[in-house]
Chains A and B, each alone.
Chain A
Amino acid sequence: GAGVSQSPSNKVTEKGKDVELRCDPISGHTALYWYRQSLGQGLEFLIYFQGNSAPDKSGLPSDRFSAERTGGSVSTLTIQRTQQEDSAVYLCASSLAPAGGGNTIYFGEGSWLTVV
């Protein structure tokens, strides 16, 4: 596609439920990133994929958070047993090659998660 696509754009869920957030990166982009942005805060790194592998998952805040990527394309971020502090915008980004080479990353519009 032309840009990074994320779904759902908005999600309201009850505390304790599981949620899945989907990201479809720009076609041909091998690197994929998940970030989280809470209200009025900066971007918090969660996980980085190169192809289907996740060499850096250091930002996942707890074992309730997991992510996978299949076919070197679509990625899913899963949050189990959601808590109110999980409420944030979850931003997916992709780049042609890893950011370590100075490659630019491009963001999707985000999935706004509200846990009530």
Chain B
Amino acid sequence: AQSVAQPEDQVNVAEGNPLTVKCTYSVSGNPYLFWYVQYPNRGLQFLLKYITGDNLVKGSYGFEAEFNKSQTSFHLKKPSALVSDSALYFCAVSAPNRDDKIIFGKGTRLHILP
């Protein structure tokens, strides 16, 4: 069965510093990987996805993520954090030739400290 893990419930980063939000996955076959962001009392917003091709994926708001097949990871990164990046971040995984479901991680709360 496919699964996704976000090992950190919360990440604190000072404004201007680089940030990383970790995600690891388990799936048979090639994964499709996604990152979403959720602001308080709102729905999720899509940030970026990896389907195939270049392992470094660039997305919205200056975020990027690197697909690492050997480590089964898809960590979200940003070179310089903004206070407005504070939110709840979800990693998600699906796989081709499976049922039409995406599995979401439990989320990581990112706090950017001014």
A binds B: no
Mark A residues whose CB is within 8 Å of B.
Answer: none
Mark B residues whose CB is within 8 Å of A.
Answer: none
